[in-house]
Amino acid sequence: MDFNASQPIYKQIIDDFKKKLIRGELKEGDKIPSQRDYAEQVRVNPNTVQRAYREMESMNMVETLRGQGTFISISADRLEEIKMEMAVNLVDYYISEMESLGYSQEDIFKILKQEQSFREGERR
């Protein structure tokens, strides 16, 4: 995992877990690496990993069982929320970048439509 050094690393760790949940690479009940193993794998300060894990617990994404490890523990509703939140963030980013270049709302929709039909054509 490559980090963007200008963003908080613990947030990037959380985002990485969110993406894995959305893609279905991780699901309810799966065991995730111990904080120490994870820190070594991604070469990050163990205190930072601890912060990310603690945050994920309070966000109702994971649960730590004493002596057993940390497991994905997420309700279907919560997962839906995370999916939505991720999608809205991406769309927000896209729109604000486009607007900063001077595209209007209509232009943006038009381009999206064009792109969509282009991609469908490619697929065929």
- CB contact at 8 A, 70 and 63: yes
Task: Compute the least distance from the CB of residue 118 to other proteins, in Å.
Answer: 34
Name which position in 9, 32, 74, 82 contacts other proteins (CB under 8 A). Answer: 9
58 binds other proteins (CB under 8 A): no
* CB atoms inside a 10 Å sphere around CB 51: 18
d(CA 104, CA 102): 6
Among 32, 39, 62, 79, interactor with other proteins by CB under 8 A: 39
Q: Does 3 bind other proteins (CB under 8 A)?
A: yes
Q: Least Å distance between CB 7 and other proteins?
A: 6
d(CA 32, CA 8): 21
Residue in the structure block whose two tokens are 């309810």? 28
- 8 forms part of the interface with other proteins (CB under 8 A): yes
Q: What is the rounded distance in angstroms from the CA atom of residue 53 to the CA atom of residue 62?
A: 8
By CB under 8 A, residue 38 contacts other proteins: no
Q: Does 44 bind other proteins (CB under 8 A)?
A: yes
- Side-chain-side CA neighbours of 50 within 13 Å: the count stands at 4
Residues that bind other proteins (CB under 8 A): 3-10, 39-40, 42-48, 50-51
